[in-house]
Amino acid sequence: MAQSFGGDAERYDRARPGYPDALVRRVVSASPGPDLVDVGCGTGIEARQFMAAGCTVLGVEPDARMAEYARRTGVEVEIATFEEWDAGGRTFDAVVAGQSWHWVDPVAGPAKAVRVLRPGGLLAVFAHAYDPPATVAEAYVSAFRRVAPGSPLSAGPPRPARELYQTMFAMFADGIRKTAGFGEPELWRFDWDRHYSRGEWLDLLPTTGTLTQLPPDQLAEVLADVGRAIDAIGGGFTLECTTMAVTASPAGQR
C-alpha cells in the first residue's frame, strides 16, 4: 500500500489537505533553527508550507514518482526510506513527518531521528483525523464491502478516525519513550473545519489507502455510491478535522 500513493501524484497533491498554520508556526518556534528533514515527504505538501515559513527543507521519500513531483514544486528530495537513508553526517534542527510516520519502523525510526537532530532539535510527527457525515461514511463502507468483500474493512463497523489516531499516536509516543536519547514526548492537537463539495470529496477519496489499489471499475462504483449520498445531503458538507501531533527533543536539551 505504501507504494500505491504515487500512482496519481498530481491528484494526491491537489486533493490532500495541508496542515494548520498554527502547527507549522509551533514547530518552527520550537526548533532551534530553520533546517528540517521531512520524512516521507510525498509530493511536498507540508514541505512547501515549512519553506513558506522560512525553513530549508530536505525531503526523504521512498517513492520516486512522489519525489519527482515534489522536486517539480521546488522541494529538494532524496529517494530512500528514512531507516535506510544515508544522512552523510548531516544534522538538522527538526525532523518532521506528515501522514507518514506509520510507515516508519517504530524502533529504527526514532533512533534514526535522534542521531540526525542537532542539540535542542525537535521530532514532530503529525497527521489528520476526520470522519465524514454518517450517511456518507455508511455509503462508502457499504460500497467498499460490496466490491472488496475480503478486505479488513469488511470485518465489522469501522472505528471513529479520532479513536484510531489517538491509539496510533499513543503508540508513536511509546516508541519515542523507548528510544535512548529522547525526552518525554508531548501531544499537540489542532482542530479546524473545511467545507467539501461533492467533487472535492470524490477527488480526495482515491488518494486514501483503502482505495489506491482498487481496479478502476470498482473504484468508480464506490465513488458513485458516495456521490449519491453527498447529493442527498445537499451536495457538500463541512468536515470537522483534528490534526494530531507528537513531538520530542533529545533528553536534557529542553
Three-state SS at 29: helix
Predicted confidence at residue 208, as pLDDT, reads: 86
Three-state SS at 218: helix
**Can you give the residue ranges of every domain in the chain?**
5-130+160-192+239-248
Q: What does each C-alpha distance from 190 to 10, 86, 244 come to in angstroms?
A: 27, 33, 6
pLDDT in tens, 208-253: 877 878 889 999 999 999 999 999 999 999 999 999 999 999 986 5
d(CA 234, CA 236): 6
Residue 157 vs residue 142, higher pLDDT: 142
Residue 135's nearest CA partner among 240, 227, 220 is: 227
d(CA 213, CA 88): 35
For cell 496519481, the residue is 8
CATH superfamily of 5-130+160-192+239-248: Vaccinia Virus protein VP39 (3.40.50.150)
Predicted confidence at residue 148, as pLDDT, reads: 85
Rg for the chain, CA atoms, rounded: 19
Predicted confidence at residue 101, as pLDDT, reads: 96
Residue 37's nearest CA partner among 84, 96, 86, 109 is: 96
pLDDT greater than 60 at residue 42:
yes
Predicted confidence at residue 253, as pLDDT, reads: 57
pLDDT in tens, 89-108: 999 999 999 999 999 999 89
